[in-house]
Structure formats: C-alpha cells, structure tokens
Structure 1
Amino acid sequence: MIVRAFSAATPPARRDALRALLTTWSGSRLAHPGLRRGVVKIETPVAVASPTGAFFALALTPEYPGLYDGWRRRFIEYGEAPRTGEILDVSPLPEGRVTPGRLAAVVARLRAHGPAPWDPAAVDHLTERTGLDRAAACLLLAGLPGVDSSARDFLGEETRALMGVTAKEAARARDEFEEITESDRRDFYEAAIPDEPWDQQALADGLATAWIARYGRRVPVPDEAMTAVSALSPRTPAGRLLSALAAPELCDDLTTGADTGPAGAPRPERIAPRDLGPLIEDLATVLPWAYAHLPGGHPVRARLAEVLALARLRLADPGLSLKVERDWGEETWVEEAVDLLRSDGYGEMAARAGLLGDGEWEADPRVSTPGLAEIVAGTLGVGLDAGVLYLQLLALLEPTDRHVRTWNAWTPARHQKAVAELLERGVVMAAKRERAGRGVFLPGGWTKAKAPNLPVETWKLALYPLDTPRWLPSRSLPGLFAQAWDLVTRGEGPA
C-alpha cells in the first residue's frame, strides 16, 4: 500500500484513495501493536466494539485449500471484545515496522511532495541484482499493480508508457508473480520497504534484498528468448523456466526431491511432494526448442545436458508427484513429456548442446554434419551451399528465408544463388504459399498448420512427432539430416 501510494505509476485517483486510507489508519487503534488476526465462519461482515477492545469480521476470504466457502472470513481484533461466529483460527499479528508515527510521516510526505518521480535507474538496479526482466522489475517497484487482474492490458497505456513496457511484456511479467499469495506479498514488502519509501533507489535495493532472500537470484536471459518462450505458452512463467535452463542448480524443482537432493545425494529430512507436471511438460517443449532454435554459446542452451540429467533424476524419484488426468484411457501430454525426456533422442540433443562454437547453429549442416553436406552436394551435382540448403529444406520444419540466412550467415544474394542451383537440378519447386516464409519447396503434398507452427511439406512430417503442442524435433538435427537423406537415396524421397 505504501509503495503504491508513492509510486508515480499509480493513477492519481487511486493514490488519493490510498492516502485517505493511510490517514485513517495512522489515527486508528489498528496502527498500534497488540492486534490479533484469524479466520471466522460467519455469514456477513460485522464490527463489535466494547470499552476494552474491538472485533472486526472483514469482507475478505482467506487463502486456504479445499472447496470455496463464502462464510469463511478474515477477522482482526484487539483487547477484549465479544466475538461473533465460529472462530477457526487466531494468532498474534506480527508488529512489523508499521507504527502510528511512521504512517503519519508517510502521509505528511505524500501531502507535501506527492509521488516520487519514476526512476528508470532504480528499475535497472533491481533488474541487475535480481535477474528479473525489466518489466517484472517495473511491477515490483510499483507495488505489483493489477497483478490479480485477468485483463490483457491490466496496467493501461499511460502507466505502460511511464514504465516503458508493452502490454505483452507486462502480461508476461505478471505471470512471474501469479504463484505468490497475497499474504506472501505483504510479508515481502514489509521486509523490503526502507525507512524512506519515497527514495526509489533505496526501495529498489530493499526489494532486491528481500527478493533474493525469499526466491533467489535469477540468471538474466536475453529478451528475445523470453519473447520466444512465451509464444510457446508454457505453464511455468517464461522467466522462471529459462532461468532453470541457464542455471539448473538454482531451480529447486530440479534439484530437490522428496528423498533426493542435488545429484541424488541423500537428504535427512523429507519435504512435501510437489506436482512437477507443469515443469515436466514445459521441459519437453523448451529443451528441443533451445537445442534447435538457439546458437552455440547462448546461456539458455549451453547447459541442456545438465538440465536433462536433473530432470531424469527427478523422474526416477519415488517421491515424485505428477497429476495425470486421462480422457478415455488416452495418454496425457504429461505422460508423453515423461517419455520424451527419457528418450534416446532427447539424450542426443542434450549431449550435442555443448559442441557448437559461439554463434554457430546446429541447423547448419556444414557445422553439425559437414561430411553429409559434401556428399549431398556431390550426389546432386551442385555446389556445397546448394547441398546445405537442400538438406535444410529436406529435414527442417521451418527453413524460412530469414532462418536459413541466419543459420548459414548468408547474404540474400548467396541464398538466391543456392536456390537457383536446386531449381535448375529440378529437386525443388518455386511457389507462393501462405505463411511459408519462403519461395522454394520440396515437391509433393503441403500440410497447413495452426500458429505457432508453420505449414510444411507433407513428406517431412514422418520425421517429427506431431502429437505435441509445438512441432519440434525429438532427436538431434544431424540424425534428422541423415534420416532424410537416407530416404532420398533409397528412392523414398519427396516426389
């Protein structure tokens, strides 16, 4: 509340309401120590006062497991006052740092100076210390405004312009905080707020210290990787998922099990099992994505072998908890994900992740399988570039012009020269096709696809598992190149 009151990102009308609430709070008995809080079962909110105390049943539903019960409400009390309803839980309210004097100082500062100017440098400091992306740091510095809203543009254009974030970036950042409960947020900000909360640099420093103490430091990942993974619609927030790939030793869900810790080391204590289904499903998608769609040396790609080893260790943990909901006996996606992560193909991809030099691409046959690229060129009677392009058109799902030029470090002119050679040999055909991103194709059928997948030649579909949400390789690209070329040499190629 105090953070939002001082934040320039808070709309003026909302800030005025917060200031009025803080003014009332600072002058009330509720700002003094000795309060108790709890849960009461009662139909409607109620306030009961006596000369020795007061009891307030609030219009707030507590966070608790089980079926929703609208009669369960939070209450707060002090002194001795008649209680109403059935008391389900009660405990002393931690005194913390909120005192009448501190609240009065906050209100006086707000009246005299208004909100603190928005400080991009404070955002940068918070990002640098925590590893959170810039949009997430903006939300933290502003007091997590609107994070419980399901609206796409929950911040509004004016606030986003002040922060310098897009609606898509803000929505992605909101996902980072969805699993943090209201009570955890309150405790977090209580620990983070400095003595002078209007000092944005001091606030950023306090937020960073409190975040690292509770949730650990994230390994920063490039924004383009965040955007690409968000497009895969993972169940795990994109920042958390990419941080697990970049620094798997910092991911509790990968390193800590019911009976095993890092590398299977025995643990003397037991911890409650967690449903790792979302993470397992996401790893089955993001691991082949990172392997095939990122260059050598990328921080998200470099440690895939360690990530897969830890995931397999967790899958072998007898305390593992996975929620499986079958429909008519069919295998669920989480079960398919488990099979993929245990497969030899995923082992191949992970083992090759560290073999590329910085900036090299596995999708470039000159790098990943140079001998085969020369064989193809010789067999077709074309130059090496044309042989490379033919392998890419033959085996890869998305050999768009932009991708091919990126993988191969080609200029448009060099690319078009390779295309011309293949067209002259008659092994590919020129055409215009919707959402293809290229103008040359293998002969034969054409299969349309819904985004984020691209339409593709029907012949190559047999090389890929298509029962996954995102079409991605299930084995190494050198293996796919070899498999596709073998079909061609056996007379089973595209026609």
Structure 2
Amino acid sequence: MTASEPLTARAGTAALDDHGVVAALGGLVDGTGYWSGKGALAGIERTGRYLAGRGEQGEEPGRAGEGSWSRFIGRIGAVALRAAVEPTRDERRRRLLALLEIWADSPFADPRARIRTGLVRMAEGGPEAVRDERGAAVAVGWAPGGLRKFVDLRAGEADPPGLGTVEEVTDVPRGGWGDAGQVRRLVDLVRERGPVPWDLDAVAGLRDGTGMGRAAASLALAGMVSGGYLPHLDDRERRIHRLKVAEIEDGVREPGRTSPLDRLDLMAAVLPEDPAELWEPQGMRAVAERIAHAWRERYGRRTVVPERTFGTVIELNPSRLSAGRFCAAFTDHASIRGLGSDLDTWIRNSDFRPFPTAAGEWDLLDFEDTLRAVVPNLFRVYAELPAGDPVRAGAPGLVRALRERLNHPGLLLDAGNLSRTVGDGVADVRDRFGSRPYAGPEPLDVANVDDGLTVVVDGGVDRTGTRFRPKLYFRPAFYGDDERSRTLLEARAGSRYDPDVELVEWLRGPVCERIVERIGDPALPPGTYETNPVFSAPDVLGRAARGLGVDEDAAALYLQLLTLYAPSDRNVRTWNGWKAPRHREAADVLVEHGLAVEDRRARAGRRLFLPGEWIHAGKPYQPMEAWKAELLGLERSYNGRLENPPPLPTRTLPELFARAWELVEGGRGPSV
C-alpha cells in the first residue's frame, strides 16, 4: 500500500470513506473543501499506524482534509457523542462509527502515548514524514504563512525526529474521555442496542442550565454545537429535535465566534466513563448537566427567557446575532463582550486596508454586531413583547450601556466610504479634515488624516490591482451637532449598509428616549402589549371607533392593520388576547364597512388587508400594503419590492396610532 492508494485496511470501511465523512464531521473540522474526495478515514488510519511504527513496509502516512482532525486527539468525545445519539442520520453515524473504530486501534486513543501537535516550517522538498527509534512525526496539513500542521509521537525521553523548524507545539490533552476501551465499547453498544434514545427533558435541562435557546440546546446535546455551520437536517432529524427550519438556522448561530477547537473542548468530557450509562433512563440528562457545566465555565449562564420570546426574536431575524445572544444583550448586557466595559480601539494595517481593532480578539466585532442588531430591532422588542418580559424590561439598561460605551473617547466605529463627489483619496479632503495624521500604536501604510472626530484612510490595493475606496472612521464620543460632525456627514457616501452613524444618532435621540420611557411606564399592565391600542392608545381607539361607526374590537384591529409591521393572525390574537372567533368577528365588521378586504397573500400570515396596492418582499423582509409602507418610511428597492433595510422609527406606538388615525380622519387613509 502506497501514499497514492487512499484505502483503509478495513474492508467494511472502504465504501464509507468518501465525501460523506466531512458532512458527518461538519462544524468540528476546518477547510471542508479539502475533505471532498475519498480517503480521509484511510489517511487518519495510516497516519496512526505510521506514528506507532506498525505500517507495512514502504507504507507512508495518508492525508485527511487539511489536518484539523488532529484536534480530535484527546477530544474524541465530541465525535463519539454525535455518533451515539438518535438524531444523527444513519449515513453519518456509519462514518462516525468507522472513524471511532479506526481511532480505537490507533495511538490517538492511548492515554500513555506522548503526542504533540503544532506548526512547522519545512524545508523545500523535505520529507512529509520521518521515523526512527526516537519516535515519528507526520505533516498532516497546511497552515497560513507556508507552515505545515504536524503530529509527532515520542517513543522515549528524547524529542522525536523533526520535519523542520517548529514554530508552535502543544501536548495533546491526556486523561480525559476516549481511551481505546471506552471508544470500542461505545461503538459496540451503538451497534448492539441502536442509537441512544432522544430525551426532550434533557434538552430542557440544558436550556435551563445555560440560558441558550431550545434549538441550540437540542443541537448541542446531539454533539452539533456548530458556530455557524448549518447542518442539513432531514425531516426525520427535525422531527426528533422537534425544530422548525428557522429554529435550526438560529440555533447554529448560538455559539457565535467559536472555533472548531472551542467546540471540541466544550464537548470533550461530557460522556460517562462507562458508555452504557447513556442508555439508562437518566443517561442523557447527565450528559446535559455536564455540557451545561462546561458551557457555564466558558461563557457563563444567561437569563432564561420564555419560549414565546425566543420565537418572536427568531421572527425578527437579527442576522448578526442568534436569538439567544440577542436576548442576552438585553437581559445580561454586562456579560456581552464589548458592552461590559469601555473599548479602547485603534487602527491597524492589513493586507487590504487599515481597520479598527481592540485588545480583545472579538470585543469590537461583538460590540458592532450588538449595536447593529439591537438598535434596528429595539422598536419591535418594545412593541411585540409583553410588559414584564425580561428582554423588554432589559431594554432601558441596554440602551444606557450602549450610550456609555459610545461616550468613550477611545472608541472608533465605521462611518462608511468617502463619497465620490468629495474625492478619491486623502489628498482631496485635507481642506475639509486638515492635515494632521492619525496617531496610533503603529504608523499606517496609507495616507490618512485625523480631525479628532473623523479618521480618513486611503484604501489599499487588492491582488488584482484594484484600489479600495477611502474609508471613514469616527469617534462617537465627539459626534454631535457641530461643524466637524456636519463635515463627516457631507463627506461620507450614503449607504444603508454602513449604518453606524445613523444608529448612534438615533440611540441618543428623542424617539429612542420616548421608547425607553414607554417601556418603563407601569401603566401598561403586565402581560399586555403596546401593540394593543386598548392599553397603549385608548383615546385614539375611542376616536377611531366613533369615527368609523364600529365597535372597539374592530377599531383596534383596524389601527393595527394601519400601523404594525407584521400583524399576522397569530400575532394579533396574541397581542389582543383573542380567540379565533372574536378575531373573525372583528374582521367581518371591517370587511362589511369597506375598511379591509379578505385575501390570501404570500408570507403575510393573515387573511385581512387594507385596500389598495400590495408590495411583495423576499425573505427576510416583510411584504405589506403600500399605504402602510409609506407611513413607516419603507423604501422600495430597485425591483419595486420592499427589500431594503427598514428605517429607524420616528414615533412610539401611541404616536403611530395617532398619526395613522389623523390621516384616515383627514381623508388620506388607504383606499382602492
């Protein structure tokens, strides 16, 4: 057998050694494109044999993907959990079990083996593997900067032979779950008893023990903590998890910016010492407790929020954050990276263009994600969650925290690109921003100026020779109603995709302040909604009922159709506390009076509509009546649909109800 033959010595495994291996390992390995062909299992098996000195004469190690599988050494429990549980589809389970069988027969499952992993700089044309009486070393993949990933095994006290200059090396974890006996026993039990039955109570326990969402908890208990990798679950898997597609899409984002290594570490020691305990009545609940403990040690425990709240937030689709992380920004904002304390940022060089960074690896990005997800959705949190809800109740504290962070002079945020009408480089704007250069920890590689509020930096050049537009960054602590701020606004290219300046303005503005005051107003009874004008705008409701000549229920429904972003039948019944018959009765009154029409329209979730033009929208945007879109300030996109980010609100809900009724009363309401 030679390196050109990607074959495993196990006849039953060869048929499984294909592109399906990477699907089975999704979220636990990097560089999935490198795993697209055959031979990954054989590569791992042959590498283990080579390190142990058991290979056939002339046999060389194999290759498996880009080498990230080497992180499984000392952490194979994450793979084993996924292989054992019921939700994993059979085609993936077979490949995972095949890998575990190979693993059990390798030095990787020997807790006595002295194995290291790391990065090495190899000489050009040097050997990919070396072995002598001191041990062995194998290059298992590529890494940035021309480095190679390697695994070595020491046979004695001396260091094993080397492949080149070692740049980084780490001993693999030892003594945890996953020795050869445990791995073999788990494989045998799965084949003998079938997969471990799913336990929804264990999912609930994991959710309550961490504060993560139900979808994230279910995926984690199945060994599918993924941090952005979207597992393609079939109908059977979704039924076992009892999750909808939108919940799955949200759940995979829960871990945020965690790496495959982070996820392997999280799940490495959650299985019982005796795998047979998994099949006991409380077996999966014990696993859930261990996962929860590991999660809390790393990320803390979030406030548990109601399932209905999670569902509402998933519908909001705050794309930069999972529903769990979005809710945590409101309920536990002090624990969110970038929110708990001031951020000192600076501009650093990169291959393409300078950009702001902070001391914590992800602190600035997490702060920006929170700002850009929370502020555009703050109105709907205020409007569509009931009084007393922990997420809604946390909004005033979150707003205060965001304002405090924005008031820190050391924070720099993105203000977008320099407008083409202003110039094409720093040289064109010195008359506006002065000539003082930016003073940071390192000199910037491109021309730049800094007027104290705004930093302008020329764009770099990419590999094709294309020059990026100059970038503007600003210090929100100094942004306000002054000449420098007006200069910034005049110089930036208007783009709804660079919203930080507008978000800062709105967050400090009067509308946000009035919304915060409304949330803190005890006049709204616990459990009721601001979207119900019975509680939030009784005076407007009374005028509308009298003016329309209808009862209060019909008037309330009409005001909701006029103003609310997504008045689906389900939402209206939730907000108003109605059952279906009462809802139908109010709707019939509006139809009889010519105030609404009945119809079926895609993605509306309702059967009642205002008369007049209907504007379609693709996900994640909301289709609605043209009259209401104009009231809310929504702009059509180039194709005539509502597929632009919605503007920041200009009114509270009572003010919006009042404005809508003012238009109707003045003869400017919706009409055919």
Range of TM-score over shorter length = 0.7 to 0.9
- Of residues 114, 117, 129, the one that matches 2:196 is 117
State the alpha-carbon separation in 1 of the partners of residues 554 and 187 from structure 2.
71
Contact 2:614-2:626 within 8 A present in 1 as well: yes
CA gap of 1:159–1:373, structure 2 versus 1, over 3 A, is: closer
What is the CA–CA distance in structure 2 between the aligned matches of 1:158 and 1:412, rounded to whole Å?
A: 32
Question: Which residue does the alignment assign to 2:39?
Answer: none
Give the aligned partner of residue 362 of structure 1: 530
Q: Which residue of 2 aligns with 1:279?
A: 370
Q: Secondary structure at the match of 1:48?
A: strand
Kept in 1, the 8 Å contact 2:227–2:254? The answer is no
After superposing the two structures, state which structure 1 stretch, 334-343 or 47-56, moved more. Answer: 334-343
Q: Which structure has the higher relative contact order (CA within 8 Å, separation 6+)?
A: 1
CA contact 2:547–2:665 (8 Å) conserved in 1? no
Give 2:395's aligned residue: 304
Deviates more, 1:339-348 or 1:391-400: 391-400
Distance (Å, rounded) in 1 between the aligned partners of 2:272 and 2:210 = 17
Return the alpha-carbon distance in structure 2 between the equivalents of residues 432 and 143 of structure 1: 44
Identical-pair percentage: 32
Alignment of 1:248-327 (within 5 A): 248-258=333-343, 273-275=363-365, 276-323=367-414, 325-326=416-417
Distance 1:80 1:476 in 2: 69
Q: Is the 8 A contact 2:79 2:223 kept in 1?
A: yes
How far is the alpha carbon of 1:46 from its aligned partner? Answer: 1.9
Matched, 1:347 2:517: no
* Residue-by-residue CA offset, 1:168-208 (whole Å, 9 max, x unaligned): 43333222235211222333334555544553444332221
Encode CA deviations 1:398-441: one digit per residue, 9 max, x unaligned: 44454444433345555555556556666x25364634524352
Determine if contact 1:218/1:240 at 8 Å carries over to the other structure: no
Decide whether the 8 Å contact of 2:399 with 2:507 is kept in 1. Answer: yes
Runs of 5+ unmatched residues, structure 2: 1-75, 278-282, 346-358, 420-492, 636-643
1:330 corresponds in structure 2 to: 494
How far off its partner does 1:371 sit? 1.8
Paired residue type of 2:387:
G
| 1:365-424 CA-partner distances (Å, limit 9, x unpaired) | 120011222233334444433443343333334444544444333455555555565566
- Cα 1:45–1:250 shift into 2, 3 Å: farther
**Maintained 8 Å contact 1:344/1:475:** no
CA distance in 2, matches of 1:35, 1:111: 24
Q: Which 10-residue stretch deviates more, 364-373 or 132-141?
A: 132-141
Of residues 38, 41, 44, the one that matches 2:121 is: 41
What amino acid maps onto 1:57 in structure 2?
A: A
1:216 Cα deviation after fit: 0.9
For structure 1, which segment, 236-245 or 135-144, has the greater mean C-alpha deviation from structure 2 after superposition?
Answer: 135-144
CA spacing shift, 1:243–1:303, aligned 2, 3 Å: same
- Residues 197-236 of structure 1 mapped to structure 2, 5 A cutoff: 199=277, 200=283, 201-231=285-315, 232-236=317-321
Tell me what 1:265 maps to.
none
Q: Does the 8 Å CA contact 2:318/2:377 hold for their aligned counterparts?
A: no
Residues 210 and 302, structure 2, Cα contact 8 Å, conserved in 1: yes
1:254 & 1:477 partners in 2: Cα distance?
28
Query: Residue 400 and residue 168 in structure 1: after superposition, are their counterparts in 2 closer, same or farther (change >3 A)?
Result: closer
Q: In structure 2, how many angstroms separate the alpha carbons of the residues matched to 1:434 and 1:108?
A: 56
Deviations 1:25-84 (A, max 9, x none): 2676xx4365443211347882212212332222254xxxxxx54644244453323422
Q: Report what 1:395 is aligned to.
A: 563
Matched positions, count: 472
CA drift of 1:106 comes to 0.9
For 2:196, the aligned partner's letter is: P
Letter in 2 for 1:221: V
Secondary structure of the 2:196 match is coil
> Which residue pairs with 2:141 in the alignment?
59
**Corresponding residue of 1:73:** 149
1:144 equivalenced with 2:219 (yes/no): no
Shift of 1:20: 2.0
Match of 1:187 among 259, 265, 269: 265
Amino acid at match of 1:8: V
Residue 215 of structure 1: CA displacement?
0.7
Instruction: Decide which structure has greater helix share.
Output: 1
Partners of 2:186 and 2:505 in 1: how far apart? 58
- Distance change >3 Å, CA 96–CA 254, structure 1 → 2: same
2:627 is aligned with 1:459? yes
**Deviations 1:311-367, CA, capped at 9 Å, x for gaps:** 222222334354555385123234433333333222222322244223312122120
Q: CA deviation at 1:166?
A: 4.5
Is residue 106 from structure 1 mapped to residue 106 from structure 2 by the alignment? no
Which stretch shifts more, 286-295 or 132-141?
132-141
On the 8 A contact 2:384/2:575 being kept in 1, the answer is no
- Code of the residue aligned with 2:494 in structure 1: it is E
Match of 1:37, SS state, is strand
1:239 aligned partner, one-letter code: G
**Structure 2 partner of 1:439:** 608
Distance 1:293 1:472, change over 3 A: farther
Pair 76,141 (structure 1): closer, same or farther in 2 beyond 3 Å: farther
CA contact (8 A) 1:295 1:361 kept: yes
Q: Would the aligned equivalents of 1:23 and 1:103 in 2 still touch at CA under 8 Å?
A: no
What's the secondary structure of 2:338's corresponding residue? helix
TM-aligned CA distance change 1:347 to 1:197, over 3 Å? farther
1:133-184 per-residue CA deviation (whole Å, 9 max, x = no partner) reads: 3332333333337x3885551x445555554445543333222235211222
SS of the residue 1:300 aligns to: helix
- Following TM superposition, by how much is the alpha carbon of 1:282 offset from its aligned partner in structure 2, in angstroms? 0.7
Q: Which residue of 1 aligns with 2:101?
A: 19
Residue 103 of structure 1: how far off its partner (Å): 1.0
Contact (CA 8 Å) 1:452, 1:470: kept in 2 or not?
no
Letter in 1 for 2:342: G
> What is the TM-score normalised by the length of structure 2?
0.61
Give the counterpart letter for 1:441 in structure 2.
Answer: L
Closer, same or farther: CA 472–417 of 1 in aligned 2, 3 Å: farther
Paired residue for 1:177? 255
Structure 1 residues 256 and 361, CA gap change in structure 2 (3 angstroms): same
Q: Distance in 1 between matches of 2:578 and 2:190?
A: 56
The residue that corresponds to 1:408 in the other structure is: 576
Contact 1:289/1:472, CA 8 A, preserved across alignment: no
Greater shift, 455-464 or 235-244, is seen at: 455-464
1:114–1:60 Cα change, 3 Å: farther
Amino acid at match of 2:164: G
Q: Secondary structure at the match of 1:176?
A: coil
Alignment CA distance shift 1:141-1:309 (3 Å):
same
Find the counterpart in structure 2 of residue 5 from structure 1: 80
**Contact 1:295/1:358 (CA < 8 Å) preserved in 2?**
yes
1:477 aligns with 2:653: yes
Aligned to 1:242: 327
Distance 1:114 1:387 in 2: 61
CA 423–98 in structure 1, closer or farther in 2 if over 3 Å, else same: closer
Matches of 1:168 and 1:429, distance apart in 2? 31
Deviates more, 1:402-411 or 1:371-380: 402-411
Structure 1 length as normaliser, TM-score?
0.81
Task: Answer yes or no: is the 8 Å Cα contact 1:152–1:167 preserved in 2.
Answer: no
Is it true that 1:87 corresponds to 2:166 in the alignment?
yes
Contact 2:541 2:555 in 1 (8 A): yes
Which whole-Å CA distance do the structure 2 matches of 1:135 and 1:93 have between them? 35
